[in-house]
Amino acid sequence: MIGKKYAPVCGVYCGDCHFLGEQCEGCGYVEGRPFWTTEIPSGVCPLHACCREQKELEHCGLCEEFPCKGFLELKDPNMSDEEFQQSLEARQKALRRRTEIGTKRWLLEVSSG
């Protein structure tokens, strides 16, 4: 079974990420510090910092403020506006499902395609 380390706070499934293995081991393995965080002052994903470090939650879907301004505005600059909207919708749906069934079952669902 795929471990929880492939289930970051933001709703992405690391097993589907094209950076996995090349530039990243999985967000959980790098504790919110994937390769792209070297480009931001804090050096850590702001969603990870908020969720895990400040609020001590497993993922954003468990937060009473979900989806918050930070979640809705953190955009990969390489994405078009359309791609970003699709990503936001997919991640919100994933986090609602993960909240409903738990991370272990969610990982089984997403890893089996």
Tokens for 54?
Answer: 């400040």
- Answering whether pTM is above 0.85, one says yes
User: Which secondary structure element, helix H or strand E, spans residue 45, and what is its range?
Assistant: none
CB neighbourhood size of 51 (10 A): 26
pLDDT (tens, 9 = 90+) of the chain, 113 residues, equals 467 788 999 999 998 888 888 888 888 888 899 888 998 899 999 999 999 999 999 999 999 999 999 999 999 888 999 999 999 999 999 999 999 999 999 999 998 86
